[in-house]
Amino acid sequence: MTAPTGPFVPGGAILLALAILGFGAFFWRAWRLYRYMRLGRDEARIDHPWRRLRDELVVYLGQRKLLKRPYYVRGIAHAFIFWGFLIITIGTIDLLIDGIVGFHVPGIGSALFAWTIDIFAVLVLASIAVAAARRAYFPPPRMHVARDGYVILGLIGLLMVTLLVFEGAGKSAGLLEKGYTAPPIAGALLGSIFSHDAAGIVFPVAWWTHVVTVLAFAAYLPQSKHLHIVTTLPNVFFRKQTPRGQLSLIEDIENQETFGAASLRDLSWKQLLDGYTCTECGRCSDNCPALATGKPLDPQRIVLDVRDQLLRDGPKLLAEAKGEIPSPAHFTETKPEELWACTTCAACVEACPVTIEHIDKIVDMRRYLALMEGAAPPEAQRAMTNIERAGNPWGEPRETRGDWAKELGVPTYTEKPDAEWLYFVGCAASVDRRNQKVARALVQVLRAAGVSFAILGTEETCNGDPARRIGNEYLWQVQAQQNIETFKKYGVRKVIASCPHCFNTIANEYPQLGGSYEVVHALQLVDRLIAEGKLKVGRGMAEAVAYHDPCYLGRHNGVYDAPRAVLDAVPGVQRVEIEPYHRERGFCCGAGGGRMWMEEKVGQRVNHRRIDQLLATNSGATKVASGCPFCLIMLEEGVGAKGVQEQIRPVDVLELVAGRLES
C-alpha cells in the first residue's frame, strides 16, 4: 500500500494539518479527562508488574472475560471488532507516516500482514452487521442502546470498507509499492471491478476517506461512551492484584477525621477511571441478585452515576481553589437504599469484561454512611452492637461460645497448646443450633483422619466480616486485632474455617493488620485428606445432591473444585449442578455483605429466587449442599417458605461426609 502521490496530493502538509487537528482534539479532551480523574485520592496500583502485564495479554488483548459464558456468542463478534480495529490501526499508522514523511512501519508489506488485515476487515464488517442487528432488534435487557453506539459502529464500518476499496483499486491501478504483497481478499474481490482508469480515481478518494475517517474517529472518541476502547488498557493494567475478597484498609484509623466516600475526591483515581471504562453493556446488572429480585441496586448505574457527576462537576472542581464538591456523590446520584441492597457477592465484578471494581465503591460509600452519619439500617446497627458487646451478631453471651463442643470433648488451645490446626469455629457454628451440627460433623471428620486440632472457645470472637462489609471499618479492626492477639498468644500458624466468610477474612484481610497464617476452608482440607488416603468414606443411600456455590468461597476465592471433589468422593452421592447458575455464575443466597442481618422489604427475597432456580433444574436432587453457614440458614428458610422442605433438604457437605465415615 502507498499514499496517493502526484496530482492527487498537494503534499504531506495537508495530511499533517489534518492529523494535528484530529489527534490534537483527541489529546486535548483526553488531558481534560485525565485531570478530572486525578481529582480522586491517590492510590498505589503498581505492585506485581508482571501480573499486570499478563492481564494485558490475557484480559485486554485476549478478551478472556468477554468470551466467557454465557456471552461468548456475542463476545466473539465484539472480539473480532476489537482485534480487527487493532490490526487496522497498525496499517493506518503506516498510511499516516508514509503520507507525511514517506516512511513505512516494518513488516507492513509482508504477505502475512496483507492476509491478516484483509481477513480481519471482512470479519469486522460481519461483526458490525451482527452488532447493529442485535442493537436494533435483540438488545440485551440492560444494555444502553443509543445513537452514539451506531455512530461508532458506522465509523468502524466505514474504515473497513474504505480500506478494502482503496486496496482493491490500488491493485487494479498498479499503485502498490514495489515489495508489497497484493491484498489477497480486496485484490481478488474488488480489484477486478475497477478498470485501470476508474481505479486511478477511486483509489485516492477511498484513501483520503479512510484517513479522514480515522482522524474524525480520534477526535470523536473521547466524547463518546466508547472511550473504553482507550481506557480499558490502563483499567486492566491497574486493576486490583490483591485477592478479590480483600477490601482496602483504612490505615491509622484512630487518627482519621473522615471515613469513606462522600464526594468525588473521596473516591480513588482508579475508581473514577472505572467510570470512563464502563462499556454500558449491562452485564454487571444482568448478574446482580439484588436487581434481579426487584431491589433498587443497579451496579452499572452506580458506576455511571460517578462518571456522569465527574464529567458534570469536573470543570467546576478544577476551577475552584479548594475544589469542594457541591454535594455528596451518593445523595446526588446513588441513593443509600441502593448501597444497602448489595450482598457483595461479586457477580458484577466477575461479569464485567473491563475489570471494573463495583464492590469497593459501594463499601466506601457505606463507610461514610455507617461511620460519619450513623445511617446504617437499624437491623445492621443492632448486629454491630451485638458484635461489639458480645462478640457475635446474634448477641449470644460470650461465655457460651464454646458450649457446643463440651459434650464432644473438643480441646481448647489452653488444654492442647501443641495442636497443629486451629479450628476457627465462627459465630454461626458457635451460636446457631443448625450450624452447630455442622461443627460437630467437622469434628468427627478431623478425628477420623487423625488431624491434630483445637478451638479457642470463649477466647474466639467474631472475625469482623459483617461489620466491615456493612461499612464499620473501625469495629472490624477491633475484632480482627483481638483474634490476631489471641492467635499470637498460642502461636497459631494454621487455621481451618468451615465458614467462607471467616476463611476469606482471616486468609485475605488479617494480613493487612499483621496476621498471616496458612488458612484453608474445611472442604479444601477434607478434599486433601481423602486424596491422601487419610479419610475413608463408605457407601450410603444413593441420592442426587445439588451443589450451591457460596460467593465468598467461589467468586471471591476461586474455590470451586474442592467441594465438588469431596461430593464426588462420597459413594452413593450423585452430584448435580444448578444450571446455569453455578460456579462463576452461582447465584447468591442473599446473606453476604451484612445482608444476613438486614430485612428484605422490597421485591422477592434473594434466597427464594435461589430456591426457584434449584427447583427449575428438575435434576431429581433430594438435597442441596453447600459449604457456608449463612447459605445453609438462607436455603433452609427458602425451602420452608416455599413449602418444599419434604422435597429437598439443605445440608452442609461436611454433614454428608460425616454421615458416611468408615470406622
Q: Within the chain, which residue ranges are assigned CATH 1.10.1060?
A: 253-372
Model pLDDT, residue 185:
63
Between the alpha carbon of residue 443 and those of residues 510, 578, 650, the distances in Å are 25, 29, 20
pLDDT at 332 over 50: no
Mean pLDDT of 385-395: 94
Mean pLDDT of 518-546: 92
Between the alpha carbon of residue 375 and those of residues 185, 312, 372, 409, 605, the distances in Å are 64, 27, 8, 44, 23
Backbone angles phi, psi at 538, to 5 degrees: -95, 175
Q: Which are the contacts of 106, defined by CB distance < 8 A and separation ≥ 6? A: none
CATH 3.40.1710, domain 531-658, yes or no: no
Sign of CA dihedral 469, 472, 475, 481: positive
Q: Counting every residue, how long is the chain?
A: 663
At residue 120 the predicted structure's pLDDT band, cuts being 50, 70 and 90, is confident
**Is this prediction's pTM over 0.85?**
yes
Out of 1.20.950, 2.20.28, 1.10.10, 1.10.760, the CATH code matching 6-40+53-237 is 1.20.950
Q: Within the chain, which residue ranges are assigned CATH 1.20.950?
A: 6-40+53-237
List the single range of 22-26, 356-360, 423-427, 659-663 with lowest mean pLDDT. 659-663
Find the helix packing angle between 358-367 and 269-277, rounded to 10°: 130
Which three cell numbers mark 454?
A: 483445637
pLDDT tens readout for residues 560-615: 999 999 999 999 899 999 999 999 999 999 999 999 999 888 899 999 999 999 99
pLDDT tens readout for residues 55-101: 888 888 877 777 676 655 667 777 787 888 788 788 778 777 777 77
Mean pLDDT of 639-657: 93
Instruction: Please state, in angstroms and rounded to a whole number, the distance separating the CA atoms of residues 567 and 583.
Output: 15
Strand partners, 424: 497
Instruction: Please state, in angstroms and rounded to a whole number, the distance separating the CA atoms of residues 252 and 258.
Output: 12
pLDDT at 176 over 80: no
Of the candidates 467, 453, 462, which has an alpha carbon nearest to the alpha carbon of residue 432?
A: 462
159 contacts 217 by C-beta, under 8 angstroms: yes
Instruction: Please state, in angstroms and rounded to a whole number, the distance separating the CA atoms of residues 587 and 124.
Output: 35
Model pLDDT, residue 137:
66
What string of DSSP letters covers 214-239?
HHHHHHHGGGSGGGHHHHHHHHHHTS
Neighbours of 54 (CB within 10 A): 12
Model pLDDT, residue 151:
80
- Per-residue exposure over 522-559, b if at least 16 CB sit within 10 Å of its own CB, e if not: bbbbbbbbbeeeebebeeeeeeebbbbbbbbbbbbbeb
Instruction: Please state, in angstroms and rounded to a whole number, the distance separating the CA atoms of residues 425 and 429.
Output: 6
Q: Within the chain, which residue ranges are assigned CATH 3.40.50.1860?
A: 378-530
Which three cell numbers mark 56?
A: 494485558
pLDDT tens readout for residues 418-447: 999 999 999 999 999 999 999 999 999 999
At residue 331 the predicted structure's pLDDT band, cuts being 50, 70 and 90, is very low
Q: Look up residue 627 and give its amino acid.
A: G
pLDDT at 50 over 70: yes
Percent of the chain with pLDDT over 70: 87
Between the alpha carbon of residue 159 and those of residues 100, 109, 216, 483, 591, the distances in Å are 20, 19, 11, 61, 50
pLDDT at 8 over 60: no
Containing 497, the helix (H) or strand (E) segment is: strand 494-497
List the single range of 128-142, 249-263, 304-318, 333-347 with lowest mean pLDDT. 128-142
Out of 3.50.50.60, 3.20.20.70, 3.30.450.20, 3.40.50.1860, the CATH code matching 378-530 is 3.40.50.1860
CATH 1.10.1060, domain 253-372, yes or no: yes
187 contacts 168 by C-beta, under 8 angstroms: yes
297 contacts 338 by C-beta, under 8 angstroms: yes
